[in-house]
Every structure is written in structure tokens, then in C-alpha cells.
Amino acid sequence: MKKIVLTGLAVLATGTANAENIVGVDRFICSAAQAQICLETGDCYAASPWEIAVPDFVVIDLDKKTVSTTESSGEDRSTEFSEVSRADGLIHLQGVEGGRAFSFVIHEITGRLTAAVARDGLSVTVFGACTNADI
């Protein structure tokens, strides 16, 4: 399975990257800073992104509608999203894969990312940052 959705996303990375203005940018690289797993029992746990198989970096390509690991990661993971919209300074991405639904919200001016993946009985939330991938 194309795990970018990720074992939950569970989208993205080790450590924190500096976010930046991505207004009008259609291809960016994102990393995760924090992750949280919540179970249907109501229990939630903080996790390091790498503990839940979140890639160090992902490339989001709005034209291709894909989220993929970087070539240098050697992981060759990719998934498509079915919906993309830009409104009020936010980019929204949504998709379904492997029994998981996922959503991303990216603030265009700051590059800050909030992503969630849900499957039956479990959800993962990731906070991170994005920057222009074509610089």
C-alpha cells in the first residue's frame, strides 16, 4: 500500500522546518514537527513523527494531486488526493486510501501545516511546516 497516507501521515518529518509564504506556489516540501495519535477510547498520545513512520519530508504537488516522499529518501511512497481547493489564504487537500481518510490544511502566508488521518477507531494529527520545493 502506498503508505504516505500515511501510516497516518500520519504527513511528514523529523524536526521542524521554517515555514514560509507559499502563496501561488503549486509544489512544496513539508516536514512534521509534532504528531498525536487518538484512539476511540478517548486516549491520546503524543508521538514523534518518525515513531509512526511519517516520512522526514514529503513533496505536495497540487497540479499532479500527489503527496510523495522525496527522491533522496529512498522510500518511493506516494498517494493521490482527490480534492484540492484554495480559499481565504488556505489550501485544503483531501483523499482516501487504504481505508484511511486524510485532510491537510496549509496556511499560504505562513506555510504552516495541519494534517489528519482517520481510520476506524484511530486518528492521527500532524502539525508541520511547508516551503517552496522549486527554490
Is 50 part of any domain? yes
Residue 121's alpha-carbon distances to 2, 41, 72, 127, in angstroms, are 20, 8, 34, 21
Is 8 part of any domain? no
Give the chain's mean pLDDT: 87
CATH of the domain at 63: 2.40.160
Q: Cell numbers of 14, please?
A: 523529523
Residue 111: which domain range?
27-132
Rounded to 5°, the CA angle 1-30-62 comes to: 75
Is 15 part of any domain? no
d(CA 3, CA 9): 8
- The domain total for the chain is 1
Report the percentage of the chain scoring pLDDT > 70: 86
Whole-structure pTM value: 0.82
pLDDT in tens, 122-133: 999 999 999 999
Is 19 part of any domain? no
Q: What is the mean pLDDT of residues 49-67?
A: 93
Is 4 part of any domain? no
User: Quick one: pLDDT at residue 71?
Assistant: 87
Is 84 part of any domain? yes
